[in-house]
Amino acid sequence: AQPLDGGFLTQLRAESRKNAMTTVLTIHVPSTEGRAVNTLVVLRAGYIIARYAKLHLYDAFSILESSRVDAGSVIPPLIEVAGIKIGLMTCYDLRFPELALSLALQGADLLVLPAAWVRGPLKEHHWATLLAARALDTTCYLVAAGECGNKNIGQSRIVDPLGVTVAAAAQEAQLIFAEASAARVQETREKLPVLRNRRFLPPQLL
């Protein structure tokens, strides 16, 4: 863990100044003694333009993230890239449809999800199923970057608003890309108006 002005992000911010990309990543930021916050950071032109403290801690499958990490309490803000509104999520957040839905109801066209999806029985199946489900729940694109390595499955994916995987990686590091269109989101929502047809809405999403 290191602060947002530490060496890791300082180097990334320097690289960010050299390009026109919007970069989304996660870093553990120290909180109290021996603890940290799993923090999603968005960089553009060398600046941190958004940050999000992960809401849902991975206390599942014999892992206890909360033993060292503090949970956030605020739904992240939307950012905008080339006219597309983007919602931010992190890893285990994927299993909680209400967060994805709240971002879509705020106006998101696309959801970004960096993840370290831990290996285990059926975990690849869960990953693929949940990504498609969240895209269909929200009629948003879903861009999921899966960390590779001995502990994690990798398998980055880009899923369109109808739940179709349009680009995917396997277990190794790979560059994948796809074109996302706000018009495609609008077209999908005209055919599949699940956001408009909802009849039940939890109070916190009103």
pLDDT tens track for 117-129: 999 999 999 999 9
**Token match 């899966």: residue?**
146
pLDDT at 4 > cutoff 60: yes
Residue 204: pLDDT band with limits 50, 70, 90: low
**DSSP one-letter code for 148:** P
pLDDT at 206: 45
pLDDT tens track for 152-185: 999 999 999 999 999 999 999 999 999 999 999 9
Q: Quick one: average pLDDT of 55-66?
A: 97
Just give the CATH number of 78-198.
3.60.110.10
In SS3 terms, 26-81 reads as EEEEECCCCCEEEEEEEEECCEEEEEEECCCCCEECCEEHHHCEECCCCCCCCEEE
Spatial neighbors of 154 by CB under 8 A, at least 6 apart, are 146, 147, 148, 169, 170, 171, 172, 173
Q: Can you state the angle between helices 97-106 and 123-138, rounded to 10 degrees?
A: 30
Within 13 A of 206's CA, how many CA atoms are on the CB side?
6
pLDDT at 200: 77
The answer, as to whether pTM is greater than 0.75, is: yes
Query: What span, in angstroms and rounded, lies between the C-alpha atoms of 119 and 194?
Result: 32
pLDDT tens track for 85-117: 999 999 999 999 999 999 999 999 999 999 999
- What is the residue extent of each domain of the chain? 1-74, 78-198
Count CB-CB contacts under 10 A for residue 181: 15
pLDDT at 10 > cutoff 90: yes
Residue 202: pLDDT band with limits 50, 70, 90: low
pLDDT tens track for 141-155: 999 999 999 999 999
Residue 203: pLDDT band with limits 50, 70, 90: low
pLDDT at 188: 98
pLDDT at 169: 97
